[in-house]
Structure 1
Amino acid sequence: MTLLSRTKKISKLRGLSLDDLALKAGLSSKSIYNWDRNSPKSENLQKVANVLNVSTDYLLGRTDVMNAYSNESEKDIDIKNALENDIMLAFDGKPISDKYKRIILELLSEED
């Protein structure tokens, strides 16, 4: 997977067009489209990685771990299982109420 295709993929996951991503990163709107032909400057790559909350190594395809602070040995959290088993979840430092846990479970069930 190329730098551009990986950037497109994660950008789409984050709900951003490449134009929007570039503008949020402080780049010209069409600059990311050129990454197939020209390698970006390291500082521009870092800006885009910061907006997408991934590491530059992930964008460059050096790793499949999105975040530099992620540990490959850590298991992904199964949020549906966590909610069903009353594991405490928090958002923005505050516990999620039972009402919102039920709503989240309903939303996750709709995906299945």
Structure 2
Amino acid sequence: MTTFERIKKVSKTRGMNLKQVAIASGLSENAIYRYNQGVEPSGPAIKAIADTLNVSTEYLLGIDEDTSLTQKKKVDILDDETILAFDGMEIEESEKEKLRDYARYIISLREKENK
């Protein structure tokens, strides 16, 4: 199965057409269709598509047959030891505390809704 066929197959199971996957991945509308014409996707493109479809790049490239969802790394942002960064830049300690306060606020709202 080609990369194009794998993308098409997973897209269908996710209820998306190829144009939707391309746009959600930050690619041009017809980018994925070019992969059916012998054009190989770039590394960043295949990563973006894999993230959109929630599969591994290894699956899309035919290296791995496992279509299970990729593992998402869960981090407790309320943990003082967690280092927060945005867009590759570490966040100042004062900003981290504001983010933690906001997260606590959201959690308290959710708890009130669930009562």
TM-score of the aligned structures, taking structure 1 as reference length: 0.59
Offset, 1:65: 1.3
Which residue in the other structure is 1:22 paired with? 22
Which residue in the other structure is 2:45 paired with? 44
Q: Cα RMSD between the aligned structures? A: 1.5
Larger Rg: 2
**Structure 2, unaligned stretches of length 5 or more?**
72-115
Which residue in the other structure is 1:4 paired with? 4
Superposition misfits of 4+ residues, deviation over 4 angstroms: none
Output the CA distance in 2 between the equivalents of 1:33 and 1:57: 20
Aligned residue-pair number:
70
Superimposed CA distance per residue, residues 27-74 of structure 1 (whole angstroms, 9 cap, x where no aligned partner): 0000001113111110010000000000000001111112444xxxxx
What letter matches 2:57 in structure 1?
T
What letter matches 2:58 in structure 1?
D
Output the CA distance in 2 between the equivalents of 1:68 and 1:18: 20
TM-score of the aligned structures, taking structure 2 as reference length: 0.57
**Structure 1, unaligned stretches of length 5 or more?**
70-112
After TM superposition, list the pairs within 5 Å mapping 1:8-87 onto structure 2. Answer: 8-36=8-36, 37-66=38-67, 67-69=69-71
What letter matches 1:24 in structure 2?
A
